[in-house]
Amino acid sequence: RMDQALLLVLNELPAPGLNLAARSGSCHQCLYQLLAFIPPSNESLRKPGTASVMVDTQHPLTLLLNSSVGDRNLCKIQYHFGEFGNYSLVVKTLSTSTQSVSCDLIINEGPINSYLPILFAFLVYMGILAILIAGRLLMKIDPVRNWVYKKLNPRATDRMINSELGSPNTTDSINCDPAPQSWSTGSRQRLRSLDTFRGLSLVIMVFVNYGGGKYWFFKHESWNGKLHFPSALFSRFVFIMGTSIALALGSMLRWGSSKWKVLRKILWRSFVLILLGIIVVNPNYCLGPLSWDNLRIPGVLQRLGFTYLVVAALELLFTRADSGTWEGRFPALQDILPYWPQWIFILVLETIWLCLTFLLPVPDCPRGYLGPGGIGDFGKYPNCTGGAAGYIDRLLLGEKHMYQHPSSGVTYQSTMPYDPEGILGTINSIVMAFLGLQAGKITLFYKDQPKQIMSRFVIWGLVTGIISAILTKCSKEEGFIPINKNLWSVSYVTTMSCFAFILLLLIYYLVDVKKWWSGAPFLYPGMNSILVYIGHQVFANYFPFKWKMQDSQSHAEHLTQNLTATTLWVIISYILYRRRIFWKI
């Protein structure tokens, strides 16, 4: 199967036989897991004992061979097997006097290069991009442009050629997609970098949710550590939502909306997001009608809705209708000092998270436990997945109303349900959105000053990056608070915020400052993000987004299907953009 190789073990040793165990390199402080018993050799027939096992190819493995009696370790091998490879492990005696044993790993059939489909897909998309760029350059030639004018509608063609990608005629709305306008006195233009940032994160999220070609690096990390693509996507969505809140609230208040009217819109939008998450996105209606018995309560839209409610209400309480220069002692901090009560509130929230995480007593678990449970930590705490975060969810929500298949289940073999969008982690998603809110305030207070905006993005990126380095000690497992997407640890928030500030800086420079990039094609799904997200979830199992494969164990087929489905949603969002159709909540 995908991500597996065949290992044939040949035992030339006499009785009593061998035990073969393995431990994945991605499994921190894990117990060895028994793979097979290898019978002893048949000396009369001079035939070795054999056993065949499937081994994982996603991460390096440590193989341990020991005697089935006495538990004597004979050899330990570290090796990264290749997908669909065929291997033999020959165990034999080197010297009968010293009883020394050799374990030789032989490659019978080499593995395949499972990454070639990614290279091919990259070349295809680069070819499409090259064709589009060439077409754009051709349209700058007068005879070609005039010929196109004659064949197509001149007005529509002019819009296509210029690729202005202008915003629709927005109404005063508190919704965060599309993002609010910037502050040109001549026209109400959008900051296209915000839509591009959101759309880029959303497109990758759709691709990953559809399967990511079944590649392991497009899956969530089992627990602590490396930041795969999926680990950063939701956090960026939360970050840019906070940025949009700052711009939208200021815009609405400047256009005369009362705070009570804005608050009603905040409450309504939060309610709708949470409701959509519970009754539309979470249930699998292919398995039957909606039932409360096993309905998952937390979820992506639920967390977005609640985070939006808290951060938007907090900003509404302290925002000002005018964004003029602050007349204080430190004008360089005009986007921070006037809002000191907000910072106190966020610090109190973070203190609550720290106290609950490290001080709350959890039955049968060590206080402050942050591990995955299962076979992790040498199997000492098998039912402690997530520590206080998992305990609070099980206590308040009930096990049946949580996510039943956490990412720790495969590598760490944890059996307890754990919800990555649970209650305790929502505190830090609020902190993440608040840091995004700070990015919005920077663009608001330093409008028409791109150098000031970019320099502050760099400063905030450095600050959050330094905090992450201190919390993690620049290590995967040995820090004070490891980076963990399942827990939404504070180090995860600061690390993702660091990346978000730098990425937003880059996109802002390319799209809004230099205008070297229009933001396409990510701009289009970014302006219809709620529709694309809900749509890709609801229609995930329907043609043309999914079809029956000829070889379900082929990365190439999965990658083709997932890229096709993702591209279709980009095309749909482009068509909706051209028709000026935007779904607002």
Secondary structure letter of residue 213 according to DSSP = G
Secondary structure letter of residue 427 according to DSSP = H
Residue 131, phi then psi, degrees to nearest 5: -65, -45
| Catalytic entry in 59, 80, 220, 405 | 220
Residue 401 among the catalytic residues: no
Mention every residue, 6+ apart, whose C-beta is less than 8 A from residue 44.
Answer: none
CB of 13 within 8 A of CB of 101? yes
The residue to which tokens 């979820």 are assigned: 299
Burial 94-105 (b: 16+ CB within 10 A, else e): eeeeeeebebee
CB of 421 within 8 A of CB of 409? no
Cα(65)–Cα(168) distance, rounded to whole angstroms?
66
Tokens coding 490: 């504070």
Q: Which helix (H) or strand (E) holds 75?
A: strand 73-79
CB of 65 within 8 A of CB of 74? yes
**Cis preceding linkage at 16, omega within 30:** yes
Q: Which helix (H) or strand (E) holds 103?
A: strand 100-109
Cα(149)–Cα(174) distance, rounded to whole angstroms?
39
Q: Which helix (H) or strand (E) holds 76?
A: strand 73-79
Helices and strands: H and E segment counts in the chain: 16, 8
Cα(301)–Cα(205) distance, rounded to whole angstroms?
13
Give the residue numbers annotated as catalytic, written as ranges.
220
